[in-house]
Amino acid sequence: MLLWILPWDPTAKLFSTLVIGGVWGLITVYGVFSIQANWFTRSIHHTQEGSLAITFDDGPHPELTEKILSILDEHGIKATFFLIGKQAEKYPHLVKKIIEKGHGIGNHSYSHSKYVGFFSVHKLKNDLQKCTEVLEGISGKKIELFRPPFGVTNPRYAKVLPQLRLKSIGWSLRSYDTISKDAPRLLKRLQSKIRPGQILLLHDTVPITAQILPDLIQYCKERKISIVKIEP
C-alpha cells in the first residue's frame, strides 16, 4: 500500500519494503514453529466431539513406555504413540506390545534430528520413509499417521507427506511435560485446560508423565470425556 501512496519517494519505498518483508518474515516464522497455523502443511488438531485423544511422542522408551502401557491397560484406555524409527529399532518388542494392546502408532521421523527442519526434500523423504519401513516391518501395520518432530513444519513437508501418503497430526493441547518439574502443578494445569475434542501431546520418555497419567485419566472419566486413539 505504501509503495503506491508514495511512489516517488525512495526512502518511503525502502521503508515500506522493509516493513512488508519484516511482517512476512514474522508470519513465516510463526508458520514454521506453530503447527496449529497450518501454514505450510495441513495438520489435524482435533478429534471427535466429546472425546480426548491422548498421544505420546518420542518413544519407545525402554522403561517408561512399559509403565505407560500398564497404566493405560489398567484403565482400559487406548492411545496413539508417535515413534522414532531409531528407537523402534532398538526396542522392537515395545512396538509389538503397543500394537498388541490395541493402541495406534505413527511416524515421528527416523532420526528426530534437531536439524530436521533444515533437511532437503530428498533427505527429509528418506528419513520419514525409513521410519515408516521400520515401523511397518516390526508391526505389520500400514503407517498412515505422522507427527512432525518439535511441531516444526515447512514447505518441504508439504511436498514429502503426500508422496509418502502420511497424514500430519498436530495437537490442540501441549503438556510441556518434558520441561515440567512439578507433577501436581502440571496435572492441575492440564485439568484446567482439557476440553472435549482436543488432541493432547504427552511424551512416554519422561517420568512425570507416568506420574500424572492415572489422575488425568480419572479426571476425564469423572467428566465423561472419553479417551480415544487417533484413527487413520
Which residues are within 8 A (CB) of 135 and not within 5 positions of it... i.e. 6 or more apart? 83, 85, 88, 95, 105, 107, 141, 143
- Per the annotation, the verdict on 204 as an active-site residue is no
Which residues are within 8 A (CB) of 11 and not within 5 positions of it... i.e. 6 or more apart? none
| Cross-strand partners of 83 | 59, 107
Entry pTM:
0.85
- Per the annotation, the verdict on 57 as an active-site residue is yes
Q: Which of 58, 61, 203, 204 is catalytic?
A: 203
Confidence at 11, pLDDT banded by 50, 70, 90: low
Tell me the per-residue pLDDT of 19-39, one tens digit each, with 9 for 90 and over: 433 332 333 333 333 577 665
Residue 125 pLDDT: 98
For residue 196, the SS3 value is: coil
Residue 76 pLDDT: 97
- Burial code (b: 16+ CB inside 10 Å, e: under 16) for 85-102 equals bebbbebeebbeebbeee
Mean pLDDT, to the nearest integer, of 116-139? 97
Give the whole-angstrom CA distance, residue 2 versus residue 83. Answer: 49
Q: Which of 57, 127, 177, 204 is catalytic?
A: 57
For residue 205, the SS3 value is: coil
